[in-house]
Structure 1
Amino acid sequence: MREKLESRKLVMGNMSMHSKVVKEKVRRQEEQLSTEIRSLLAGGNSLSEAKKRMQDSSRSLAGEKGYGHLKKLAEIIESEATVYVSQVSLLYPVKVVIKKAPEQELESFSSSIKSGVPDGSKPVDQGTLTISGLHLTVIPFTKMSFFTDKKEVQRSSTALGYVAHAVSLIASYLQVPLRYPLRLGGSRSYIRDYSPSIEHSASSTTLDSTTSASTKPVEFPLFVEGQDSTRAAYAVFLLNKDLEQLLNFIGVKSLGPRQVLANLKELTRTILSPEYIDM
């Protein structure tokens, strides 16, 4: 009888110990589950707040100051730029006239540019370009002497001043900072080169070594009178580079390194074309 009681006590003790172990295990699981529930609640709150912020952002984008508004504003700015460029083209019209002596022209223009006539073939309709009725001639830049026609020099300087002003205006309308900034002064305008040691060494070796070594911008005259003709020729080269920059900005290739007026005409023509306006 006593042995049975002892056996039952032992069984009851084991059951009690097992019960305590199970209770402790359940308690730990409850704590873990409670922690996970709190984590899920916190995650749910964060998700709810993120969703609310996303909805607010969507409403903001669709609102008066959202993406649609910005797109309309950009279209208005582009249309205004087109209007301003059209005024520039009226102020400084670039037109084709009957060609003079070929060796005297800095600018030549032919129908081959648009019609696709291969290089080397003679186009039927050939002429030169003028800006406000003025030609750009090459003689003042290569054969400046005592006998050079002063009126011809002045006309070329005035024409370059017109081009410089037109380029400056169009760049401001398109909000494009020019790689070679201009200092406007009519027929006494200048263009600045911030890397003369690189750019000018390929075009001329007549500048002082102190100029090429300087880190400050160097100004080159867009006129010949009283200036080194090589510096003036380099200024025209930089002016055409500015035109090339603007053409590339609107997705058009330059017509050539010596085509200052042709590039200006192509620039205004493209900006005023329906294809560009509808972009």
Structure 2
Amino acid sequence: MSKESRRSLAGERGYFRLTKLQNKLRLRQQYMISQVSLLYPIKISVGPSEEQELESFPSSSKSGNYVGSKPVNQGSLTILGLHLTMAPFTKMSFFTDKKEVQRSASALGYVAHAVSLIASYLEVPLRYPLRLGGSNSYIIDCAPSVELSDLLSSTLSTANTKPVEFPLFLEGQDTTRAAYAVFLLNKDLDQLLNYIGARSLGPRHVLANLKELTRTIQSAEFLDS
């Protein structure tokens, strides 16, 4: 920062000038992230084909307690019309619906892109970076633990601490690696929620956490934080 810039922010007048600039930045961030929520709308699936906007989504208070309706089942949420079904990530078999697997991969690609955009607008470096590729996106663990290397011994060794990519899709992949990728994606959502002072709904609520993130950013409390 130059001397002139520091001088302009000095004193009481400088404080108000800085506050005004911060408010402008927040408004801009709020607008940009509202566009992300329009690009990737998250809705409640009411019936076989009918959907409604997620207006009754439980909101959180400053204290971190949730008020309003009960938390929505992960399976009842859609992103851009697609459900994110986690069942194939826990047990993949010959009888698993391949179309369901493809839809979940596309949904995860949407979430990954939304998270990447929101993080860039908030200027938050993600703890687990994303490599976007639509329905074939990856998430990167830059420091895999020893426990993880034991779990995924076919890919890692205990002496190998290089960044490792995990697939956010199942086709042609090991279910353990894909499930871990979803876990890391939710960790990125936790990071962004924590950054804005909101609370995560838990590790199995990827779409719900993304909706809570965009909802909080578009609320008045974000401008006041």
TM-score between both structures, scaled by the size of structure 1: 0.66
Query: Which structure 2 segments of 5+ residues have no match?
Result: 49-55, 60-65
Alignment RMSD = 3.0
Query: How many angstroms apart in 1 are the aligned matches of 2:104 and 2:221?
Result: 33
Change (3 A) 1:62 1:187: same
Which position in structure 2 is the counterpart of 1:229?
175
Q: CA deviation at 1:198?
A: 4.6
Q: 1:171 to 1:148 in 2, by over 3 A?
A: same
Would you say 1:157 and 2:105 are equivalent positions? yes
CA spacing shift, 1:258–1:81, aligned 2, 3 Å: same
- How many Å apart are 1:147 and its aligned residue? 2.8
Q: Deviations over 1:7-32 (max 9, x none)?
A: xxxxxxxxxxxxxxxxxxxxxxxxxx
CA-CA distance at 1:208 after TM superposition: 2.9
Counterpart check, 1:81 vs 2:34: no
Structure having greater relative contact order (Cα 8 Å, sep ≥ 6): 2
Unaligned segments of structure 1, at least 5 residues:
1-55, 101-108, 118-122
Conservation of the 8 A alpha-carbon contact between 2:32 and 2:121: yes
Separation in 2 of the partners of 1:61 and 1:110? 40
Q: Deviations over 1:151-208 (max 9, x none)?
A: 111100000000000000000111110000000000000000012125736xx72433
Instruction: Please say if residues 211 and 218 of structure 1, whose CA atoms lie closer than 8 Å, have aligned partners that are also in contact.
Output: no
Counterpart residue number, 1:115? 68
SS of residue matched to 1:196: coil
Q: Which has the higher helix share?
A: 1
1:253 aligns with 2:199: yes
TM-score by length of 2: 0.80
Matched, 1:139 2:87: yes
**1:99: how far off?**
7.5
Quick one: which amino acid aligns to residue 182 of structure 1? L
- After superposition, the Cα gap between the structure-2 partners of 1:86 and 1:209, relative to the gap in structure 1 and judged at 3 Å, is closer
CA gap 1:208/1:75 in 2 versus in 1, 3 angstroms: same
1:96 positional shift? 1.1
Rg comparison, structure with higher value: 1
Separation in structure 2 between the aligned mates of residue 166 and residue 199 of structure 1, nearest angstrom: 30
Percentage identity across paired residues of the two chains: 67
Secondary structure at the aligned position of 1:130 is classed as strand
* Alignment match of 1:208 (pick from 129, 140, 154): 154
Alignment partner of 1:213: what SS? coil
Q: Is the 8 A contact 1:222 1:236 kept in 2?
A: yes
**1:199-242 Cα deviation digits (max 9, x unpaired):** 736xx724337444312100000000011011000000000000
Match of 1:197 among 136, 145, 150: 145
Q: Which residue of 38, 43, 48 corresponds with 1:90?
A: 38
